[in-house]
Structure 1
Amino acid sequence: MNHTDSRRSSAHLNSLRADAQAHPRKPMLELRPLAYASPFIALLAGTMVSTQASAAGFQLSEHSARGLGRANAGEAAIADTAAVLARNTAGMTRLKGTHVTGVLSFIDLEVEADGTTTTATGITLPANDENAAPNAFVPAFYSSYQLDEKLFVGFAVFSNFGLKTDYDDRFAGLDVADEASVETINITPSIAYKLTDQLSLGVGVDYVLADAKLSTSAPQFIAPGTPALLDLEGDGDDVGYHVSALFELTPQTRFGLQYRSSLDIDIEGDAEFRFPVPVDADGSLELNLPDMVELSAYHEITSTWAVHGSVNFTNWERFDSLIADIEGDPRSPITLKEENWDGNLRYAIGVTHSLNEQLVLRGGLALDKSPVARENRTLSIPDSDRLWFSAGASYLVSENLSVDFGIARLEGESVEVVETSEGIGNTVVADVEGSATIASLQVNSRF
C-alpha cells in the first residue's frame, strides 16, 4: 500500500471517529422483523439463540424428538407426526385430520481448544479454552390440516442453521476468534397433494429470519500499520422454497425426497472498529446459506419391526467467503475470511420396534461428514466429522395424544486449527475437539 492510500485510510477513520462522537449511535435492535410476527414466533426467537451447530458446518437438525431418537434416519419417508414438515411436506398426506406437534431440544456442548499463540514478535503464549461453545435450547412447532381427501396444508416454525462460539476473555487468540454467532428462524407454510394412491407431492415457502455477529481482526488495508479488531452485528431475512415427493411402493415400503433452496441473506446492522477509541459505522455482511437435498427410505419388516435410512446432501460450497460492506469505505466490499467449504454428505440408518400398542422404541446411527478441509478450518467454526449414536421412545397417552423422547450422543474428531490474524500477525495453533449430548421432548396431538 502506498503513502497516499495510507493517508486516505487514516482520513477515513478520523472521519468515522468524528461522526461517532458527534452522533452517538443507539444500540441496534436485534431481530427487528420479529416485531411484526406473532407472539408465539417471538417466543421461539427468544429461545432459539446461542446455539452451536450439531450437524456439519453450522447446520441444525433438532427438528423432532422422534427424529433425534433414530439419528434422523428415514425422516423424509416415515411421516408419522406433523414434524415431517421440516423434512418432507408431501408426507402430510399420511396425516389424516388435524395434527399439532411441539418440540423442545436441549444441546449440551463440549468444545475444547488446546494450543498456543505465537505473536508477531515471536512470543509464545498458551491458548486454551475448555468450553468455547455455550449450551442451547432449540424449540420447534408444526401443524398440518387435511382439507379434503387429497389436499393438505401445513405451517411450521423451526431452525435449520445456528452457531455460537464465544472464547474466554483470557484466551490468547481473541484477535483470531473472539465471538461468532448465527441464529435463524424458518417460518414455513406448505401444501401437499395426493396425486395417486402411491404418489404425493409437496411445495412450500421458507421465510428465514437471521441474526449474526462476528468479531475478527480487521484486514490490514483498513487500518495500515494499526492492529485493529472489527465487530459486525446485524439481522436480515430472505425467502426460499422447498419441493418434495413421497412414493409409497407398497403399504410397507415408501421413499421420500425433498429439496430446499439456498438463501442469500444481507445482514444489516452495526460495524465497530475496536481501536483505542471505538469507531462505529453502518455495515452489512453477506450470509450465503446452502441448498439441501434429502433422500429417505422406510420398510416394515414385520408388524412390529421397521428399518429406515437417509442420505442428505448440503451444498456448503456456497459458503465460500465472508464479505462485509462498510458504509463510507471506498474499499468495500471487504473480504473478511475465505471459507472455501465443500458440499457434504450425511448417512443415517435406524430401526423402530413397537413393543406394544402404547410403547415404541427406536435407535439410530449416523455419520456426518465435515464440509471443511483441514487447511480451511477456523477457530470460529472448528468443524470435523461427527458420529451419532441415538435412542428414543414414544408413549401413546390416549388415542389423540402421544409423547416422544429422544437422546443422542455426538462424537467429533480432534482436529488441528492453524489461523493467523491479518494485520496483527498473531498465529494460533490449536487442537480442537467437540462433542455434544442432545435430549429432546415432543408432544403430538391430533383432532
Structure 2
Amino acid sequence: MSFNKPLFAALLASSAAVSPLAFATNGYFAHGYGIKSLGMAGVGYALPQDALAAASNPAGTALVGNRLDLGVTWFKPDRSVEIHGNNLGPAGSADGKYDGNDTESFLIPEFGYTRQLDERLAFGLAVYGNGGMNTDYQRNPFGAYGSQGGAGVDLIQVFVTPSLAWRLNERHSFGVGLNYAYQRFEARGLSAFDNAMTSEAPGKVSNNGHDHSDGWGLRLGWNGQLTDSLSVGVAWSSKIKTGKFERYEGLFADHGSFDIPENYGIGLAWRATERLTLAADVQQIDYSDVKAISNSVDVLFSGHPLGSEDGPNFGWEDIRVYKLGASYALTPQLTLRGGYSWADQALDKGETFFNTLAPGVVREHLTLGATWAPEANHEISLFYAHAFSEELKGSNSIAPQLGGGEVDLQMQQDSVGIAYAWKL
C-alpha cells in the first residue's frame, strides 16, 4: 500500500481544525501522553499503561497487550500579560494589562492501538498532540507600536508514531518508533514588525493565514525488569527537522524554520504492594538546539532582523522535568491515581517581550485520575490536572528602541480528560 502524504496531511489538518491545541505545560510539550499517564503527572518511561505507551517509550508497546484506546482532553489555559514602565514619547505607551484568553478552551484528541504479532514482537500506533501555542488577544499588546486588530499565534503539532517492540525475554523489551510530526501555524496582529527595518522578509511576518510543515524523527526505548517489583525505562526522541513556514519566513529565525527539539529521559516504577505502584520520571527537553525557540530577542537591534538565520525569537532554554506518580487498585474494578510534577523555567526574565505571544511559564502540576473496568475487556479512564499559577516578571525585557519598561507574564491552566479502552 502506497503512502499518500498529501491526503494524510489533509486528514491531520482537518483533525487539528476541529480540535486546536493551546499551550501545553512544559514549555510547549504536554505533561504526559495517554489518559492514565496524565493522571499520574505524565510518568511513562518505565510504566506503560495503555496503547499510547509509544508516545513516551516505544518499548512499552510490547507490554500492554492487544488494545484500542480513544480519548479526549478538555484544556482551559489562563494567560495574561502586563506591560509597565513603557514610554514611546509622542506615540504614547504600551502600558496595560492584556488578556490572551479570547479563545478560552480547547479539545485535544488521542488514539492508540497495539497488537501482539507473536510471543515477542508487537506493533503499535499512537496519534496525539505533542503540544502547541495559542494566544488570542482581543486588545493587542503591540497596538501602541502600530499593529492593528487583535493579536495572537496558533501553533498546532500532531504526532503519529507507529512502533515495533521486541521482548528479548521476560525481563527486557526494546522498541523503535517513527515520529511523523505535522505542524500548522498562524500569527496575527504583528504588523508593527512587518517592515524592512525589523524583518528580513517584509510581508511574511503576520496575518498570512495558516501555513503548515511536517517532518520525521526517530524514537528509541528500553524497558527492563530489574527485580520482580522494580522496573526501569529509558527513551530518546531525535530532533525533528521540519519544513519551513514559508508564509512566516520573516518571523521565525532561519527563514521560517520551526524544528521540534530532541528530548529524552529515564523512569522507574516500583510495585510497592499488590495494589500500590509508585513511579518517577526525569525528562530533558533541549529547546536550545532550535533557533526559532532559543534565539534571544536581544539580537533584534544588533544586525539580526526577524527571519534571518540567527534572528530573534523566544529565548527559551533547555529544561528538565521531574514527575512523581502513584496508582492504587482500590478494588479489582477501580484504580485510583495521582501525581505531581515540576520543571525548570524555560524563559529568562529578559525574554518576556517576545513571549507575550507564548507565555508558557507554568512549572508545577498536580494531577488526579481513575480507571473503572466494568468488564474484563473494557475500561473507562479519567484524569484532572491543574497547572499552578506562575508569574514571570520581566527584567530589562523591553529594548530602549521600543520604549523600555517591562513585560510580566502570568499563566495557569486546568484540564480534564476521558478515554475508553477495548482489550482486544
Q: TM-score range by the shorter chain?
A: 0.7 to 0.9
Structure 1: gaps of 5 or more residues? 1-32, 274-282, 324-330
More strand by share: 1
1:84 aligns with 2:59: no
Separation of aligned partners in 2, 1:38 and 1:124: 43
The aligned runs of 1:23-172 (5 Å cut-off) are: 35-37=6-8, 41=12, 44-49=15-20, 51-73=21-43, 75-96=44-65, 98-116=66-84, 117-121=86-90, 123-132=92-101, 134-171=104-141
Contact 1:127 1:173 in 2 (8 A): no
Offset, 1:264: 2.0
C-alpha displacement at 1:107, in angstroms? Answer: 0.9
Q: 1:65 corresponds to which letter in structure 2?
A: I
Q: CA deviation at 1:285?
A: 0.9
Moved over 6 A (4+): none
Change (3 A) 1:439 1:34: farther
1:319–1:339: 8 Å Cα contact kept in structure 2? Answer: no
CA RMSD of aligned residues (A): 3.1
Secondary structure class of the residue paired with 2:37: helix
Identity, in percent, stands at 17
What amino acid sits opposite 2:159 in the alignment? N
Pair 1:355 & 2:334 matched = no
Tell me how far 1:121 sits from its aligned partner.
Answer: 3.4
The number of aligned residues is 394
**Does the 8 Å CA contact 2:37/2:49 hold for their aligned counterparts?**
no
Give the Å deviation of 1:295.
Answer: 1.1
Match 2:217 to one of 240, 255, 259: 240
2:301 aligned partner:
none
Please name the residue that 2:344 is paired with. 369
My pick for the range that moved more, 133-142 or 436-445, is 133-142
Residue 300 of structure 1 pairs with residue 268 of structure 2? no
Alignment CA distance shift 1:147-1:334 (3 Å): closer
Q: 1:321 matched to which residue of 2? A: 292
Counterpart code for 2:164: I
Q: Does 1:432 align with 2:409?
A: yes
How far apart are residue 426 of structure 1 and its match? 4.7
Report the counterpart of residue 186 of structure 2 in structure 1.
Answer: 213
Helix, strand or coil at the partner of 2:82: strand
Q: 1:278: which partner in 2?
A: none
Report if the CA contact (8 A) 2:211-2:247 is conserved. yes
Q: Which has the larger radius of gyration?
A: 1
1:249 is the counterpart of 2:226: yes
Q: Is the 8 A contact 2:231 2:268 kept in 1?
A: yes
Q: Residue 92 of structure 1: SS of its match in structure 2?
A: helix
Q: Hey, what's the Cα distance between the residues in 2 that align with 1:356 and 1:197?
A: 27
- Within the alignment, does 1:203 sit opposite 2:176 as a pair? yes
* 1:109 maps to amino acid: P
Whether the 8 Å CA contact 1:167–1:174 is kept in 2: the answer is no
Aligned partner of 1:343 among 318, 321, 341: 318
Given residue 110 of structure 1, which amino acid in structure 2 is its aligned partner? D
The answer as to whether partners of 1:173 and 1:428 remain within 8 angstroms in 2 is no
User: Structure 1 CA distance, aligned partners of 2:60 and 2:133?
Assistant: 29
Which residue of the other structure, out of 272, 286, 290, is the alignment partner of 2:257? 286
Q: Does 2:386 align with 1:409?
A: yes
Which ranges of structure 2 fall in alignment gaps of 5 or more residues?
A: 296-305
Amino acid at match of 1:384: V
CA separation of 1:147 and 1:189: change in aligned 2, threshold 3 A:
same
**Does structure 2 retain, via aligned residues, the 8 Å contact 1:218–1:422?**
no
Q: Deviations over 1:43-100 (max 9, x none)?
A: 5323341x33232222223522211211113x1111121121211111122123x211
C-alpha offsets along residues 308-357 of structure 1, whole Å, 9 cap, x if unaligned?
Answer: 1111100111233379xxxxxxx974655243322101111111111111
Partner amino acid, structure 2, of 1:314 = I
Change (3 A) 1:35 1:62: farther
Specify the code of the residue in structure 2 equivalent to 1:440: G
Query: CA separation in 2, counterparts of 1:344 and 1:272?
Result: 27
Normalised by the size of structure 1, how large is the TM-score?
Answer: 0.80
Aligned partners of 1:220 and 1:269: how far apart in 2? 17
TM-score (norm 2): 0.84
- Please state how far the C-alpha of 1:369 moved relative to its aligned partner: 1.6
Task: State whether residues 204 and 247 of structure 2, in contact with CA within 8 Å, keep that contact through their aligned partners in structure 1.
Answer: no
Which amino acid counterpart does residue 155 of structure 1 have in structure 2? Answer: L
Distance 1:208-1:228 versus aligned 2 partners, 3 A rule: closer
SS in 1 for 2:25: coil
